Amino acid sequence: MADTAPMLIDGRETGAERPPIAVRDPATLEPLGAVPAGTAEDVDRAVAAAARAQRAWRFTSAWERADLLHGVAQATHDHADELLDLLTREQGKPRPEQEEELEWSASTFRYYAELGRHGQGRVVPSAEPRTQLNLVVREPYGVAACIVPWNYPFLLLAWKVAPALAAGNAVVIKPSELTSLATLAWVRLAFAGLPDGLVNVVTGYGDPVGEALVAHPGTQVVAFTGSVATGQRIASVAAPLMKHLHLELGGKDAFVVAPDADLETAADALAYAGFLNTGQVCTSSERVYVPRARAGEFAELVAERARALRIGHGTRDDVDMGPMIGERYREKVQGHIGDATDRGARLVTGGDVPDTGLPGWFLAPTVLADADHSMQVMREETFGPVIPIMGYDSVDEAIDLVNDSPYGLGATIRSGDTLLVKRFADEVQAGTIWVNDPLTDNMAGPFGGMKLTGGGRELGQDGLDAFLQSKHVHWDLSQERKDWWYPY
């Protein structure tokens, strides 16, 4: 077994004696190392350490907290080469995509370092303005459990941990067992300037580590990105404890090509939106609607882009798309493709395992034509490199099809018709509407979804507010007796 990277609890490396979980390169299947299989006892120690650290951190000035968070961003850049190499080998997407993730992650800490300085509440009008003061104070919850997925292990950690710390909380991180090595390396290298116990990492499986974090009486907030099923489990465990939940769950994002759209540039945009990170993005365009008379032509244009993608190990300069993260994930995607073709979809390109010379979990980028809502690939989250295309006869039908989903994370429209775009933005039930430029996030704008996607919001002021609770302070500056007290 490869060397085991220890967990980080209370500023110390620990847990190397635990049974190891092997972490493998998804392109070569070679072991990269191992991480400890954490236990509920490890969670207890991490939460206790976080609670101790948070008691001092919440009263650390916003200026000092900001300086320390800027330090995390700077240290991330200082160790970028080491982190990028490990992240690429562990997670699989090409290095340019990893570089973007690392830069976004560092920027998130810079952004919340400054936003955390901005305010701590507000003064509201008092019934007796000469003698009374009414304050609404925003305070941290305490200890936040941050449960992070494997597809963007740095970025989705930063979107939780940076605002949690800026708000005055401490955190216990549970990374995916598939990408824990890079997470441990990042925290060890870039978070070393923070007080001991403020940021803790417990590795392991959802049961027992994730389950123990959610059920622990010492965690007041649970921030999670992942599947609907896991989110529902978290909600059921946390509900009796009345915890504050911050859930960003699955997506089945729609991409609509409007009647006026140019097909060539729409195909370019869709290839990016559907195949980025091998389609393993919660906001991937996973169902596409095109005017019926143009759907066949459009499917061929997208297929041309798919066939041109260079597939291989993410460390190579000549690679556009890496492997999927694991065998069971590829099998699920292949199942969606098979179900679609069995139900009448036409396989335009892909669907097979490409010849890369590597044994990893590769899948050729796939385009399906003649899709419809009877198919799993149009109803369930696929999370792989598959673009199914369906024709529509009217704009009314297209909007109805977009909303005919239990998910509501994001939706894209390609159009220059301003009235149509306004209507689309008004009527589509999704947390983000992209017009002509899919999958572009804004640090200052909220990210999250509706319906089964969970309703949580990350980024912007909303992202900070998720880790703050309100307290009302009613202060009478006078100690005089009130006329309305007993006796009447």
- Mark whether 282 is an active-site residue: yes
CATH number of the domain to which 136 belongs: 3.40.605.10
Q: Which two tokens stand for residue 459?
A: 């980024």
Do residues 342 and 400 both lie within one domain?
yes
Which domain, by its residues, includes 425?
253-435
Alpha-carbon distance of 354 to 155, in angstroms, equals: 29
pLDDT (0 to 100) of residue 2? 64
pLDDT (0 to 100) of residue 192? 97
Do residues 242 and 271 both lie within one domain?
no
Beta pairing class for 20-24 and 31-36:
antiparallel
Do residues 28 and 109 both lie within one domain?
yes
User: Going residue by residue through the chain (488 aa), what tens digit of pLDDT does each one get?
Assistant: 468 999 999 999 999 889 999 999 999 999 999 999 999 999 999 999 999 999 999 999 999 999 999 999 999 999 999 999 999 999 999 999 999 999 999 999 999 999 999 989 999 999 999 999 999 999 999 999 999 999 999 999 999 999 999 999 999 999 999 999 999 999 999 999 999 999 999 999 999 999 999 999 999 999 999 999 999 999 999 999 999 999 999 999 999 999 999 999 999 999 999 999 999 999 999 999 999 999 999 999 999 999 999 999 999 999 999 999 999 999 999 999 999 999 999 999 999 999 999 999 999 999 999 999 999 999 999 999 999 999 999 999 999 999 999 999 999 999 999 999 999 999 999 999 999 999 999 999 999 999 999 989 999 999 999 999 999 999 999 999 999 999 99
- Residue 482: inside a domain, yes or no? no
pLDDT (0 to 100) of residue 16? 85
| Cα-Cα end-to-end distance for the chain | 79
- Residue 319: inside a domain, yes or no? yes
Do residues 160 and 136 both lie within one domain?
yes
- Residue 481: inside a domain, yes or no? no
- Residue 447: inside a domain, yes or no? no
Do residues 118 and 131 both lie within one domain?
yes
Alpha-carbon distance of 167 to 142, in angstroms, equals: 10
3-class secondary structure for the chain? CCCECCEEECCEEECCCCCEEEEECCCCCCEEEEEECCCHHHHHHHHHHHHHHHHHHCCCCHHHHHHHHHHHHHHHHHCHHHHHHHHHHHHCCCHHHHHHHHHHHHHHHHHHHHHCCCCCEEEECCCCCCCEEEEEEEEECCEEEEECCCCCCCHHHHHHHHHHHHCCCEEEEECCCCCHHHHHHHHHHHCCCCCCCCEEECCCCHHHHHHHHHHCCCCCEEEEECCHHHHHHHHHHHHHHCCEEEEECCCCEEEEECCCCCHHHHHHHHHHHHHHHHHCCCCCEEEEEEEHHHHHHHHHHHHHHHHHCCECCCCCCCCCECCCCCHHHHHHHHHHHHHHHHCCCEEEECCCCCCCCCCCCCCCCEEEECCCCCCHHHHCCCCCCEEEEEEECCHHHHHHHHHCCCEECEEEEECCCHHHHHHHHHHCCCCEEEECCCCCCCCCCCEECEECCCCCEECHHHHHHCCEEEEEEEEECCCCCCCCCCCC
Q: Which two tokens stand for residue 217?
A: 């009486």
pLDDT digits (tens, 9 = 90+) for 413-461: 999 999 999 999 999 999 999 999 999 999 999 999 999 999 899 999 9
- Residue 478: inside a domain, yes or no? no
Neighbours of 419 (CB within 10 A): 8
CATH number of the domain to which 294 belongs: 3.40.309.10
Do residues 243 and 258 both lie within one domain?
no
Alpha-carbon distance of 367 to 255, in angstroms, equals: 14
Do residues 114 and 221 both lie within one domain?
yes
Do residues 206 and 222 both lie within one domain?
yes
Neighbours of 477 (CB within 10 A): 10
Do residues 314 and 428 both lie within one domain?
yes
Neighbours of 236 (CB within 10 A): 10
Residue 466 burial by Cβ neighbours in a 10 Å radius (0-12, 13-18, 19+): buried
Backbone angles phi, psi at 24, to 5 degrees: -120, 155
Q: Which of the residues 101, 248, 286, 458 is marked catalytic?
A: 248
Q: How many residues does the chain have?
A: 488
Q: Which of the residues 90, 101, 177, 282 is marked catalytic?
A: 282
Number of domains in the chain: 2
- Residue 413: inside a domain, yes or no? yes
Do residues 46 and 175 both lie within one domain?
yes
Q: Would residue 249 be called left, alpha or beta, if left means φ above 0 and alpha means ψ between -120 and 50 degrees?
A: beta
Which residue has 């190392």 as its token pair? 33
Do residues 147 and 282 both lie within one domain?
no
- Residue 171: inside a domain, yes or no? yes
Do residues 89 and 232 both lie within one domain?
yes
Largest CA distance in the chain: 89
- Mark whether 380 is an active-site residue: no
In sequence order, the 6+-apart residues with CB closer than 8 A to the CB of 42 are 7, 9, 14, 15, 18, 36, 202, 204, 209
Contact call for residues 241 and 215 (beta carbons, < 8 A): yes
- Residue 446: inside a domain, yes or no? no
